[in-house]
Structure 1
C-alpha cells in the first residue's frame, strides 16, 4: 500500500477522511468502509496513527467532523498550522476528541456569536489543551 504524501497544512487523518468522503458521501455508504478487509483498514489506521475502530468512526463522522477545533484555535489566537507541524500527535488527538464531541451545537453557536473564547472551557473536551496552547507564545497567530 502506498502512503499518503506529506502535506504541511493538513494531517494524514484529514486527508484520509477527505478521500473517504469523496468515495462514500452518505453514512450508509461510509458503512462500506467497515467491509474493507481487516488488513487494509489496519494499514490505513496505522498510517493515521489511530486504531481501526477510530478510523471507521471518523470516516462515518465525515471530513468536517473536527472543523470546530480549527475555528476554536483561531478564535483563541492559536495557529493551527503551527500546532499541527510541531505537535502532530496532540493535534490528531484533539481532532479525534472534537470529532466525537457531543457539544457541537453549543460550540458552533458560540463560535458564531463570538462567545466561544470564554465559554468553551465549560463544554470543550480540548479546553485544557487549548488553554495551554494559547498561553504559549510559540503557537500564537501572527
Structure 2
C-alpha cells in the first residue's frame, strides 16, 4: 500500500495531505497545524472542497490514512480512477470516511486474505456507497 504521490488513484485529498505532511517532515501534527494561519487552512480546505476542520483532521491522520479505500475498491472490482473522475465529491467523502475509520486492522487483514469482498459490509463506513458503485458498469474494472 506504499503509494506514491503521483498515484492518481489516491485522489486529490490524499495527495494534498501528503504534500502538507512532507512539508513539515519531522514536525508533530500539532506543530504542523500550528504553523498555518487560519486563512491558509481555510483556503486549502476550500480548494479541496472540505471544511477547515476536516482538513485539520485529515492532516493529523497522515498522508496514508485512506490508502485502504482504493485497495478495497479494486478488491470489489471497482476502478478507483473512474470513480474519482465520474463521482469526485463521492470519492472525496469516501476518502474522509476511510481516513476516520477505526477498523483499519480488520480491513487490511481482509484485503490481504482476499476476504474483503464478503466481509467489508460488517465494518466499512463506505459499504453502502461501495455496493452502489459495484452496480455501475462504467466504474467496473475490466
TM-score, length basis structure 1:
0.89
Structure 1 residues 78 and 65: alpha-carbon distance in aligned structure 2, compared to 1, 3 A threshold = same
- 8 Å contact from structure 2 (residues 10, 67) kept in 1: no
When the two chains are superposed, the root-mean-square deviation of aligned CA atoms in Å is 1.6
CA distance in 2, matches of 1:8, 1:120: 24
> Per-residue CA shift, 1:88-107, capped at 9, x if unaligned?
00000000000000100100
> Is the alpha carbon distance of 1:9 and 1:107 closer, same or farther for their aligned partners in structure 2, counting shifts above 3 Å?
closer
Mapped partners of 2:68, 2:15: distance in 1: 17
Q: CA deviation at 1:8?
A: 6.1
Match of 2:24 in 1: 24
User: Which deviates more, 8-17 or 131-140?
Assistant: 8-17
Aligned twin of 2:4: none
What stretches of structure 2 of length at least 5 have no aligned partner?
A: 1-6
Partner of 1:113: 113
What is the DSSP-based 3-state SS (H/G/I as helix, E as strand, rest coil) of the residue aligned with 1:11?
A: helix
The one-character-per-residue Cα deviations of 1:42-99 (angstroms, maximum 9, x if unpaired) are 0000000111111011111111100111100000000000000010000000000000
Aligned counterpart, 1:38: 38
Structure 1 residue 33, shift from structure 2 partner: 3.3
Distance 1:15 1:105 in 2: 23
1-side partners of 2:118 and 2:92: how far apart? 24
Q: C-alpha separation between the residues in 2 aligned to 1:136 and 1:92?
A: 18
TM-score of the superposition, structure 2-length normalised? 0.89
Residues 73 and 9 (structure 1), Cα distance of their counterparts in 2 relative to 1, 3 Å cut: closer
**Corresponding pairs, count:** 135
- Distance (whole Å) between structure 2 residues aligned to residue 71 and residue 11 of structure 1: 13
After superposition, give the CA deviation of every residue in 1:17-38 in whole Å (9 maximum; x if it has no partner). 1111212335x52212322111
Unmatched 5+ stretches in structure 1:
1-6
Corresponding position of 1:4: none
